[in-house]
Amino acid sequence: MTSRRIELHFHLLPALDDGPADDADAIDLARAAFADGTETVVCTPHARFLHGPRDLADRVARLRRTLERGGVPLDLRPGAELSAPDVEVLGDATLDAVSQGPPAAPWILLEAPLEPGGVEELHAAVDGLARRGYGVLLAHPERSPQTLAPGGGLDELLARGVALQVNATSIAGRHGDAPRDAALELVRAGAVTVVASDAHDDAGRPPSLTTAVATLRTAGVADPERLVASAPRALLRRGLAAPRPARALV
């Protein structure tokens, strides 16, 4: 490994969503991430659990202090994982607080729907973020059969400039055979921009970048380390353009 890794999708804030239950669990998860080679974690709780941008900033600052006391040298950044319905209800200040990248090219982590349906809402959310000037990093499409289906429009989203993030836990097989196979197919096709753990705890869903990189290397993927190091670093530094308009129906 030539450089430290970056996690762009990681549930690390304690006592908030379905991530760590308390400070002790958050410290354990952060230590596991650092041991896995990670230097930077963008904390991405589910946006619906946040009470505005101040709440997010306060929680990240508090966790920074907790990790410093625990001797875990992670660089933490505030963020969030948005579902499609979040886009309509979140104000500009909150979107700005959870966005990543430079001011000229900010982007948002938007999750692919995990429940049946939701494809129309996903595309509407992409359109909504684009109108507000945000690029889109689509989280775990490999876990969304409806998004992968022929009518799901994934190819169109890619053509519009949406970037894909697949889960290291999917590549490692923790979500079953179908998500693992879909993740590998997307990576082999060159459709994936970054891999992230989408970690929630140190047992069931731990940091898994090392496992994912090894699996991808075994599968014949060239330089899989870039997907967890230089590629996410580039997204943070250079940002992501807002998706281009959808093609008009003929």
Structure tokens at 162: 């949406």
**Using one digit for the tens of pLDDT, what is the confidence trace for 144-182?**
999 999 999 999 999 999 999 999 999 999 999 999 999
What's domain 5-238's architecture?
Alpha-Beta Barrel (3.20)
For the chain, the structural domain boundaries read 5-238
pLDDT of 249 above 80: no
**Using one digit for the tens of pLDDT, what is the confidence trace for 130-149?**
999 999 999 999 999 999 99
DSSP 8-state symbol, 46: B
> What is the per-residue pLDDT for 1?
43
Backbone angles phi, psi at 160, to 5 degrees: -80, -10
Average pLDDT over residues 62-88: 97
Local confidence band at 199 (pLDDT 50, 70, 90 cut-offs): very high
> What is the per-residue pLDDT for 246?
84
% of the chain beyond a pLDDT of 90 = 93
**Using one digit for the tens of pLDDT, what is the confidence trace for 113-126?**
998 889 999 999 99
Phi-psi category of residue 164: left, alpha or beta, with phi > 0 → left and psi -120 to 50 → alpha = beta
Please give the Cα distance from 118 to 212 (Å, whole number).
28
Local confidence band at 250 (pLDDT 50, 70, 90 cut-offs): very low
